[in-house]
Structure 1
Amino acid sequence: MAKLYAIFDLDGTLLDTLDDLMDSMNYILKENDFPTRTKDEIKSFVGNGIRKLVERAVPKEFKNDEVFIDKLYNDFGKYYNLHSDIKTAPYKGTLSMLDEIKANGIEVAIVSNKIDKAVKSLSSKYFGGKIKVAIGEKPEIRHKPEPDMVLMAMQELGADKSNSIYIGDSEVDIQTASNVGLPCISVLWGFRDEQYLKECGGKLFADSMKNLTEKLINFTKN
């Protein structure tokens, strides 16, 4: 059986984090007397990191104010680090999927555009030893869709492009996998729908945790 390393996105792939992201973003917006955003709006804003979420959420006249966006980004980070785990939970079947692929010799990492402290905290709480490496957004490394974070995770795992696969739920994940040179499985329970993912170049899809488990185990047989 061939060795396989699976690099997972976090939000919309392993964890349903949308409510906590929305509540934190809306807290910051209200603190600045801005209109709040709906869940569907926040869903469409996520994927490119927290700073981009902030840019997309503020009124249009503030989007190009770099100093102000930096302030809100920092405010969001402080608030979210304390409120990232109020409503967040693994998607149904996530833990059994991780157990089953681990039993088949597949090692796992998380790479997320979420703030690094929150990524490590959430990974430790929900997944413990099931996840070997968890990397989030930090100033010294370019975030997805640039390849840097995934390459760092692969290095920590001892993986290479010949034995690695990427799993995510968005167009950012498809582009990230392409930039690294990895196959990508797009999950369909996250923040984007299948048609949109196909338009963004998605080719492999999983519509359930069971389906994802089967696809990953089949990769070890190729």
Structure 2
Amino acid sequence: MNVGAGRPFRSPKAILFDLDGTLVDSAADLTAAVNELLASRDLPALRLDQVKAMIGGGIRKLVERAFAASGTPLLGSALEEANRDMAPIYRRHLTGLTRLMPGVREVLTHFHLNGKAMGLVTNKPQLATREILLHFGLTEYLGAIVGGDAVTYLKPAPDALLLALDQLGVEPYDALMVGDSGADVGAARAAGMPVVLLRGGYSQIPVEDLGADLVCDSLRDLPSAMQRLQDAA
């Protein structure tokens, strides 16, 4: 556990979670989808580590980055066409290779039993998000589920976080964001709420350098780390 910025910590009434790299490891499914799309253009496949480095910013940004990495960058109508072609491919690759990150179910259960409201905010489309959460049986824990197409601006804008908190009936100063990337930090700061980052996600920058209030090795460490911070406050 690393504590950043020296900010005082208060026990939150609500916790918002990112999805990819925080609750689920979806990199293998995203790689399969990207490579199916590239193969339809007779382009070579990308490696898992290459696609993992492209995650964040939504599916449109993933498509753009994938074609750029393949040596065939797309612009304008060609990029729009590729995004349209990606939609059905992406829907076929939501849960086949995706796995829960360590400790997800036990941690969500812990917070539920301790009376915390919980929500999910992601740049992934809403329907795809719900399908993944239903597949893993996580919807019962979440009072708000906000996908990227439910708001005007994706993270790092605060729109999704503020919408989720409105649905939960909690003010930003009484909430906590948990994610794995600079986009999560930026969104939380813009919304006026503290943020915890987890190691082992998809950030290409060390999470210690992203300005979070707290950095944990995994989700399993979050409850005890929060308790220690609360006791020290």
1:155 to 150, 153, 166: 166
Q: Name the % identity.
A: 27
Question: Deviations for 1:47-85, whole angstroms, at most 9, x for unmatched residues?
Answer: 111111111110466535121112222222221112211
Question: Equivalent residue for 2:131?
Answer: 121
Alignment deviations for residues 128-176 of structure 1 (CA, whole Å, 9 cap, x no partner):
3111211112175211111111111010011111211101011111111
Question: Residue 184 and residue 160 in structure 1: after superposition, are their counterparts in 2 closer, same or farther (change >3 A)?
Answer: same
Please say if 1:17 is aligned against 2:26. Answer: yes
Could you tell me which residue of structure 2 aligns to residue 85 of structure 1? Answer: 95
Q: State the number of aligned residues.
A: 221
How far apart are the structure 2 equivalents of 1:104 and 1:115? Answer: 30
Does 1:53 pair with 2:68?
A: no
User: Does the alignment pair 1:35 with 2:39?
Assistant: no
Which has the larger share of helix?
1
CA distance, structure 2, for counterparts of residue 219 and residue 78 of structure 1:
45
Structure 2 Cα separation of the partners of residues 202 and 33 of structure 1: 42
CA contact (8 A) 1:6 1:108 kept: yes
Residue 213 (structure 1) aligned with residue 228 (structure 2) = no
SS of 2:122's partner is strand
Separation in 2 of the partners of 1:165 and 1:203? 10
Distance 1:216 1:119 in 2: 27
Structure 2: runs of 5 or more not aligned: 1-9
Conserved in 1, the CA contact under 8 Å of 2:208 and 2:215? no
Question: Which segment drifts farther, 91-100 or 62-71?
Answer: 62-71
For residues 60-119 of structure 1, the C-alpha deviation after alignment (integer angstroms, 9 at most, x for no partner) is 665351211122222222211122110112112110010001111111111111121111
Runs of 5+ consecutive residues of structure 1 not aligned to the other structure: none
TM-score (norm 2): 0.87
